Structure 1
């Protein structure tokens, strides 16, 4: 069959230039391509695969690498050109066929898309194939064939959910809003609750039939289900309040196919399918450039591969008018932080909060960023504001009290921190992270040691392979004078978290107290080499110089002196 994607002369020239760059270095290009591929550097990988192809132009594996990485890096026309070459040598190749069908749909060529889907059915993931078959049939005006394609997605249950969601969008686009609602209701039941894209489409169908109150209830229920709120649902509610007309989220073949590819990309988003997920998401935005959720997914996938500069460019493409713009700014701040530009990240979030003062999402993002930057006083203030916002919509999630407690504890506001940790435990009893943090802090302060031990033991039971929680149990035993028990648990903690300076330091102290002094000095030296906090480093050096016994005597004397001074004597 003829290729469905008409390659422009400019694209062909661009691809030829890409393929010929540094051709003299082609023998090393393959290794460079594999290295870039492994690192998730999709742009560099595409370039090096093209260079390697210069020396071995018929190599299918190199073509696959080039095509996949060109598409994943957003170079869709060059990727489609490579897919044409790849399909000639490997007609059933998955990447090539996916790219060429998406390209055909983007051009409005439902005939070419349906032909390729029919001729190479095994070249597609089953879910992708049926969804694209349905939207290509819709583009041809064959709604019955479209519904028949979706009916093939009966198992597993997640396929049925996708099928009903797309059946609803397809029916609404075909003018059958009542039939769309039936399909959306089945999809919502299968999803065990509302989701943003499904509720947006379902609500639009309800509004089309004048059932605005039901649409509002759906939007509000979906927003309430999100811990941080749902800006897309909030925008839909605001539009209803203003009397604005609804627009079906999908009206054309290309828009439906974009939703399909975005949905599959989301399902594939784990580590094992990250590159293929990225390709699906890129093709989705090629079909529909304004699909902001897909753009954010692309940026998140790039960040997951450490490609933060590329992610910044994607976040920047989200227009300020889109409900997801604030989420894009939060993502942008995360990318800036990953690039070591912490001050820029904080300033970006400050600007966001200044224009979105009632956004819990924005306040929490700024608070988290300040906490990670160890600006704990500022972080605590922002967490307090986030708690105020969260409390207006009901009881905040336990995680917010936990994070706020950490910031207040590190800022020296222990009474507030303790109250927040205890509140977190009221909301989520036996939560191991909270049990550990509160229990460990009590141990460090010498308070409630028996209760702290019980809390930490409960945390260890739930997270036996967590080195930090195991360290807490060893340390409480140390504080209680059970040095043999402390050694047992702290040795286990060091095995679980071997490069943590605090855990190695604790283990050294316990070893010293049971008479294993050479081993203690070894652990202190190891702790010293692991970049401990300045205060801890000074204590470690002193222990290495004079031993733990003298350090403890010096600390006790200093404490007595401080107490005497406090008593005025």
Structure 2
């Protein structure tokens, strides 16, 4: 029986409406006063009461469906405008969904009602930056007028925003003094000094700006290096700027930095334009905090909001929009992420790193045709970028277009001829899989052995070659050694345990196959192939009733969805027994089943 997925927004709303229809408030909706036209949220509110929209909003929020959450929280607030939690939740949803203008209006209404929150105050400050009302922003950020208790991270952000507001109000000296005072705190000094350097460069004090950026650059990756190189260029220290950029790993994937380096080498004029206005400076404050929050093991929800505000204040800041897209992608909001990537392309700001992330997002959303088209476009735009060809090869391989994937990996490896070995092992491994699955085992074996020489501690790689040999009846001792080593490196990986058990089975060591296969089934109970394997192992150990149970379970787990499972063969085993099936297959018995692990498991290449 199919079960309802109540986390889907449309079903969530259905449930919520059904619940609210049973509430007394819903039965007497006609007795309510008409909504005020000036209240945007109330205009959109249905007559179903608070319970429905609230439950739908909560479910949408859990699923990170920000647009649905914004719609339902707005409706919930309309029914209970005095609830500060609902109001703040609505504001979070508005900002996360990118509806910043709507969030600004909502934050203003919250303050008018006396329901301001930390987020509403932040949004109101961003709006003042957007308007260029620096005096009002200075009034709002005046520490002597704050009644809130001190908190280190909040005070730091407010202080940095205030410094840029002082710049906007024409009080540059006061801004520098404030930032210098803040930089006296050691653990935040690198972050503050980066902004102090930007502020000094904006007023033409390039000498002190350059000194502040010596050594480690602490800004967002691209912006930080761009700022330092541009500042060095203003000081006629072009050789240092060129050397800085030439020594950056991954430079070939950053066209902005490449263009800057080429301009420096050609002696062309180079302006300092990482920040053009104080508003850009505030946008960088938001981006700085978004980056810091996103780097935590459990990223803060505010990281997305900060990135959204940065992008709103400085629409041409590629890094802010890219971070927004990547955070949306991490939260499985692929459609919203695609909107950001599309905006980058429309503005002519397509960067390989952004396109690679977009291709991955499209692939995860099962939009394979779009992902393949994007990968082909990227290889056309940047034919010398090996990562683009690897991404194309991965997409083709994941769609089982193995023969088509091989030339893409060929091109990538040609481009990586002089690269360090660590940059070559993955495409060697991936090409080896594609070749093996395309029936070109001799070439595949060479690639896999070369990859193992570089990464002898990569469990899925050892597993793949080891089982390939077992499957072909070749190099059996070494094959088993590779698989055992893979299990040592990744003892809880069900796919690798399945490989070890099936290797024992294919070698006729049936009693040794039981323990690893039972452990594998413990982690992969819903995998039809692993259940089928366990059934075969039980049968060969005389445990025929248990074998039949496993085969029946394999048939119940949608085996048609797995290319390596033959449902008719399982039915034949249930009808006649494994011995009879193997006898009928004769010499082919040694090739009865392919391993479910490295070749088809998407985790094999993680």
Please tell me the TM-score bracket, short chain as reference: 0.7 to 0.9
Shift in alpha-carbon separation, 1:400–1:134, aligned structure 2, 3 A = farther
Structure 1 residues without counterparts, runs of 5 or longer: 1-12, 561-569
Give the counterpart of 2:330 among 293, 300, 304: 304
CA deviation after TM superposition for structure 1 residue 292, in Å: 1.2
SS of the counterpart of 1:185?
coil
Shift in alpha-carbon separation, 1:109–1:186, aligned structure 2, 3 A = farther
Q: Does 1:133 align with 2:156?
A: no
**Alignment partners' CA distance in 1, 2:349 and 2:496:** 40
Give the counterpart of 1:50 among 74, 88, 103: 74
1:6 corresponds to: none
CA deviation after TM superposition for structure 1 residue 288, in Å: 0.2
CA deviation after TM superposition for structure 1 residue 88, in Å: 4.9
2:597 corresponds to: none
Spell out the pairing of 1:87-486 with structure 2 (5 A cutoff). 87-88=111-112, 93-117=117-141, 118=143, 119=146, 120=148, 122=150, 125-140=154-169, 141-146=171-176, 148-149=178-179, 151-152=181-182, 157=187, 159-188=188-217, 195-222=221-248, 225-226=249-250, 229-248=253-272, 249-269=274-294, 272-319=298-345, 322=348, 324-395=350-421, 396-486=423-513
Q: Contact conserved, 1:130 with 1:150, CA < 8 A, in 2? A: no
CA RMSD of aligned residues (A): 2.8
**Alignment partners' CA distance in 2, 1:150 and 1:187:** 18
**Alignment partners' CA distance in 2, 1:46 and 1:405:** 47
Q: Contact conserved, 1:162 with 1:187, CA < 8 A, in 2? A: no
Taking structure 1 as the reference length, the TM-score comes to 0.87
**Alignment partners' CA distance in 2, 1:337 and 1:363:** 15
Spell out the pairing of 1:539-550 with structure 2 (5 A cutoff). 539-550=569-580
CA deviation after TM superposition for structure 1 residue 257, in Å: 1.4
Shift in alpha-carbon separation, 1:156–1:86, aligned structure 2, 3 A = farther
Structure 2 residues without counterparts, runs of 5 or longer: 1-35, 591-606
CA deviation after TM superposition for structure 1 residue 29, in Å: 0.8
Residues 358-413 of structure 1: per-residue CA shift (max 9 Å, x gap): 22232222111111211111111111111112225454332222222222222222
Q: Does 1:75 align with 2:99?
A: yes
Shift in alpha-carbon separation, 1:113–1:411, aligned structure 2, 3 A = farther
Residues 205-245 of structure 1: per-residue CA shift (max 9 Å, x gap): 111111111111111111xx239733332222233344432
Residues 136-176 of structure 1: per-residue CA shift (max 9 Å, x gap): 3333323454454465356674x333223223222222322
Q: Identify which range, 280-289 or 317-326, moves more after superposition.
A: 317-326
Shift in alpha-carbon separation, 1:26–1:244, aligned structure 2, 3 A = farther
Runs of 4+ in 1 over 6 A off after TM superposition: none
Q: Identify which range, 331-340 or 456-465, moves more after superposition.
A: 331-340
2:19 corresponds to: none
Aligned residue pairs, count: 543
Q: Does 1:507 align with 2:534?
A: yes
Taking structure 2 as the reference length, the TM-score comes to 0.82
SS of the counterpart of 2:565?
helix
